[in-house]
Amino acid sequence: MKIIQDGNVTSAKGFLAAGVKAGIKASGNYDMALIYSETPAVAAGAFTRNAVRAAPVMLSELHVKSDNVQAIIVNSGNANACTGDEGYRNAENMCKLVAGRLDLAQDAVLVASTGIIGVQLPMEKINVGIGHVVDKLSQDGTIATKAIMTTDLTEKNIAVELEIQGKTVTIGGIAKGSGMIHPNMGTMLGFITTDIAIEKSLLQRIFLESVDESYNMVSVDGDVSTNDTAIILANGLAGNDVITSEKDEGYDAFVKALRFVNQTLAKKIAEDGEGATKLIETNVFGAKTVEDARKVAKSVIGSSLVKTAIFGGDANWGRILCAVGYSSADLIVNKIEIFVKGGDAKIQIVANGAGIAFDEALLAQIFSAKQVEIEIYLHNGEAVATAWGCDLSYDYVKINADYRT
C-alpha cells in the first residue's frame, strides 16, 4: 500500500470533484462541493444515531440503497436540520437539481449538509451554486476538500493505492469535523471514493465495520450531531474481478487499506477539534469484549477533566482511572495498569488499580507533547480498541460561546 501525495476523492479512476462559493456562508468562503463518478457506483453509508435527523440524512439513507449512485452534493454553512417538511423538500430539490444537470436519476444523487441548525436553506443561492459546481467538475479535488469545512482549521484528505489481482486499486477520501464530534459520529462528514469492483452488500458491511473503528472512536466534545454522514462510492474502474466474499483475493488488503484511510481522516478530525492544541490517543488492551474496550477508550477520551488536565500539562493521572471507572465496562479494578506516552517518553502511572510513584517532571513533559498516548491494560480478556480525541482549551469555549456571530 502506498500513500498518494496530496491524494483525495479524485485520486481513484473516474472520479471528478469541484467546489464553489455559493454564498451560503456569511464569510463568503467555499461552501458547496460536488463529488461525481463518471460511471455508476455501488454506495454504502453510515449516518448519525441522533433521533433528530437532518433532512439530508433522511434522504441520503434512502438514496444510498440505489444500485447506481453517481454523485454526492454537499453544502456547508447550513445543516438543513430541524427544518421540517420544507427542509426535506429542499434536500430533495438539491438532488433533483444535480440529477437534472448531470442527467442522472434523482436517487443517484446523495446529499449532505453541515452548519447552522434550524434555518431553511437559501434555495436560490443553492440553485445557482449547483449550476456552477457542475460546470467546474475536474480531476482536481482540492477545492471540494475546502468547501466541506466549517470551523475546521486544516483540510482533511488522504488517498492510497494498492495492488489487487494485479490491478491498481485506489481509495481516497476527504472529511470535515471540528465541533460536535463524538462516539457515534458527532457533525462529521466523510466521503470516500474507490475504483475497486465490489459487491454492494459486502461493501456496506466492510464500511460500517471500518466506521466503527475510526469515526465512531473520535470525540471532541461529547455532542452527537444531527447531520453526521460517512459515504463510500466504489465504481469498479480498477478492473479487478468483483469482490463478493471475504475469501476473494484482495479482500483483506482492501479492508486494511480502507481502515487506514478512515482512521487517518478520523485522527485528523480529532487533531483539529475546536480549540485543540494536541491529539490524544487512547489504546485499551485486555478488555472482556470489544464493546467494553470501546467504552473504556471513549470514556477516557471524552472526559472533560482528562482533556483539561492534558491541555494544562497537569499530571493528574487519577482522572484517567476515574474515567475508566465510570465507563460501565466490566472491570477488575485492582488489575488495571495505565501508561502514558508522549514524545520519546513512556511511563507507568497506575498499577493494580492504584497510583504508583513516578517522575512527576517526566509525566508533565509527556502531557506537554503535541501527541499524547494513553495505554490502558484491563487484564480482563483479549479485546482491544483505540479512540482519538483532543484536549479542552479556552478556545473551545470561545468558539462555541459565540458560534453564530
Q: Which residues are annotated as a binding site for substrate?
A: 150, 176, 187, 274, 400, 405
| Residues in binding site | 150, 176, 187, 274, 400, 405
Interacting stretch for a second copy, rule CB under 8 A, among 66-74, 117-125, 129-137, 369-377? 117-125
Query: Binding marks (x or -) toward a second copy, 66..105, rule CB under 8 A?
Result: -------------x-xxxx--x------------------
Cβ at position 232, least distance to a second copy in Å: 24
Torsion angle of C-alpha atoms 123, 89, 29, 104, degrees rounded to 10 = -100
Q: Quick check: 61 and 28 in contact, CB under 8 A?
A: no
130 binding a second copy? (CB under 8 A): no
Cβ at position 269, least distance to a second copy in Å: 16
| 241-300 positions binding a second copy, by CB under 8 A | none
- Any catalytic annotation for residue 187? yes
| 299-328 positions binding a second copy, by CB under 8 A | 302-305, 308-309, 311-312, 314-319, 321-328
Cα first-last separation, the chain: 45
Interacting stretch for a second copy, rule CB under 8 A, among 32-40, 60-68, 133-141, 345-353? 345-353
Q: Quick check: 235 and 203 in contact, CB under 8 A?
A: no
If 0-12 CB within 10 Å is exposed, 13-18 middle and 19+ buried, where does residue 289 land?
A: middle
123 binding a second copy? (CB under 8 A): no
363 binding a second copy? (CB under 8 A): no
Nearer to a second copy (CB atom), residue 79 or residue 232: 79
Q: Nearest-CA neighbor of 269 among 294, 240, 301?
A: 301
Cβ at position 179, least distance to a second copy in Å: 7
Single residue of 1, 3, 26, 52 touching a second copy by CB under 8 A: 52
Single residue of 39, 139, 334, 371 touching a second copy by CB under 8 A: 334
344 binding a second copy? (CB under 8 A): no
* Active-site pick, 187, 193, 229, 264: 187
Cβ at position 46, least distance to a second copy in Å: 16
Single residue of 226, 240, 262, 282 touching a second copy by CB under 8 A: 226
| 163-192 positions binding a second copy, by CB under 8 A | 179-180, 184
Nearer to a second copy (CB atom), residue 3 or residue 332: 332
Cβ at position 185, least distance to a second copy in Å: 11
Residues serving a catalytic function are 187
Give the binding site for a second copy (CB under 8 A): 49-53, 79, 81-84, 87, 116-119, 179-180, 184, 221-226, 302-305, 308-309, 311-312, 314-319, 321-329, 331, 333-334, 350, 352-355, 392-394, 396-398, 400-405
